[in-house]
Amino acid sequence: MTAEDSARSPGAEPHAPSPARYPRMGTSPRMGTSRLPYIGLPRDAWRDAYHILLTLPTAAFLGVIGLAFLTVNAVFATLYVLDPGGVANARPGSFQDAFFFSVQTLGTLGYGVMSPRSLYANLVATSETFIGLLNLGVATGLLFARISRPTARIMFTRRAVVTPMDGVPTLMFRAANRRRNLVVEAEVSVTLIHDVVTAEGAVLRRFDDLSLLRSRSPLFFMTWQVMHQIDERSPIFGETTQSLLDKQAEILVVMKGLDETFVSTIHARTSYRPEEIVWDARLADIFTTNDDGERAIDFRRFHDIV
């Protein structure tokens, strides 16, 4: 931040940086949710297949498992067809009969209608049974890992606001635990990510931490209003929506804590781009009372801004 930036008052409208000062390097993807195109990176998909299968959407994961099941059976059906008469009660050369016999063998069903008769068919059936056991173990392990993996159900307001608090402009947003349990020793960090230009004219992506009024909570079970005061020490002091856009700025939020149910560390993240920050506005009050006079939270107004 320059001396000129530091001299500006928090409410002043600074002049937008010139294109020469902040040369455009293409649109930056949203931090943590988009992926950049990779050029020249070796493809190691097969070496990292376990990670890929764990991170696939559920529908895609089931589709891959189903496709693998059909492929394995098709391969072994082809091997059975190569030996006409090798499978008892199967029509010679019938791929359909060979395929369903393969399904029965792979699943260890043993209906007793078709069975291997020749030495060749028995060897193929033995190999298929072994591969079926391996596939069952791998599929079970992957499914268990996906189901048992600790996940967070933390929600953030869709937009952040900048509103005065004790006379100081303050960046605010809200978080809530959608599960009715406790997150112990919860911590939140907020980082301003933006482009800077070095004295040599190189464009770098800088990460500046934003200090918070409260960055740690011993127990997080209702809502948490995260606040950063925009004073002279703040990296966003004197900034406006346009100046942040010129720097391709983004505010990254990372929250983590110990989930009492999983007894494991969970984390959640979100980010706010300049157009998602509303200036001179405040978050709606979501605390109310129910019919019994007890304090309650109205999540219907969680994202409202007034």
Three-class secondary structure assignment of the chain: CCHHHHHCCCCCCCCCCCCCCCCCCCCCCCCCCCCCCCCCCCCCCCCCHHHHHHHCCHHHHHHHHHHHHHHHHHHHHHHHHCCCCCEECCCCCCHHHHHHHHHHHHCCCCCCCCEECCHHHHHHHHHHHHHHHHHHHHHHHHHHHHHHCCCCCEEECCCEEEEEECCEEEEEEEEEECCCCCEEEEEEEEEEEEEEECCCCCEEEEEEEECCCCCEEEEECCEEEEEEECCCCCCCCCCCHHHHHHCCCEEEEEEEEEECCCCEEEEEEEEECHHHEEECCCECCCEEECCCCCEEECHHHCCCEC
Q: Are residues 167 and 96 in the same domain?
A: no
Is 306 contained in some domain? Answer: no
Residue-level pLDDT at 281: 96
* Mean pLDDT for the stretch of residues 110-131: 92
Residue-level pLDDT at 54: 87
Contact 266, 150 (CB under 8 A): yes
Q: Are residues 59 and 77 in the same domain?
A: yes
Residue-level pLDDT at 163: 96
Q: Are residues 293 and 168 in the same domain?
A: yes
Residue-level pLDDT at 74: 96
Task: Inform me whether the pLDDT recorded for 22 exceeds 70.
Answer: no
Alpha carbon distances (Å) from 75 to 62, 106, 209, 286:
20, 12, 56, 60
The region of weakest confidence among 18-32, 193-207, 225-239, 275-289 is: 18-32
Domain limit, last residue, from 124, 148, 172? 148
Question: Mean pLDDT for the chain?
Answer: 86
Q: Are residues 165 and 291 in the same domain?
A: yes
pLDDT band for position 251 (50/70/90)? very high
Q: Are residues 163 and 104 in the same domain?
A: no
Q: Are residues 224 and 288 in the same domain?
A: yes
CATH number at residue 233: 2.60.40.1400
* Mean pLDDT for the stretch of residues 22-31: 63
Q: Are residues 127 and 208 in the same domain?
A: no
Domain limit, last residue, from 111, 132, 148? 148
Task: Inform me whether the pLDDT recorded for 6 exceeds 50.
Answer: no
The whole-model pTM stands at 0.73
Is 180 contained in some domain? Answer: yes
Is 216 contained in some domain? Answer: yes
Is 235 contained in some domain? Answer: yes
Q: Are residues 113 and 188 in the same domain?
A: no
What's the longest Cα–Cα distance across the chain?
Answer: 91
Number of domains in the chain: 2
Q: Are residues 107 and 239 in the same domain?
A: no
Q: Are residues 124 and 172 in the same domain?
A: no
Q: Are residues 191 and 295 in the same domain?
A: yes
Task: Inform me whether the pLDDT recorded for 283 exceeds 80.
Answer: yes
- With a pLDDT cut of 70, the percent of the chain lying above it is 86
Task: Inform me whether the pLDDT recorded for 200 exceeds 50.
Answer: yes
pLDDT band for position 8 (50/70/90)? very low
Q: Which domain holds residue 61?
A: 49-148
Query: Can you tell me the distance from the alpha carbon of 172 to that of 243, in angstroms, rounded to the nearest whole number?
Result: 19
Domain limit, last residue, from 148, 175, 202? 148
- Residues with Cβ within 8 Å of residue 277, at least 6 apart in sequence: 159, 160, 161, 162, 171, 241, 244, 251
Is 38 contained in some domain? Answer: no
Residue-level pLDDT at 43: 67
Burial 70-99 (b: 16+ CB within 10 A, else e): eebbeebbebbbebeebbeebeeebeebbb
Is 94 contained in some domain? Answer: yes
Contact 216, 185 (CB under 8 A): yes
Task: Inform me whether the pLDDT recorded for 148 exceeds 80.
Answer: yes
Q: Are residues 296 and 158 in the same domain?
A: yes
* Mean pLDDT for the stretch of residues 123-139: 92
CATH number at residue 128: 1.10.287.70
Is 24 contained in some domain? Answer: no
Is 213 contained in some domain? Answer: yes
Task: Inform me whether the pLDDT recorded for 30 exceeds 90.
Answer: no
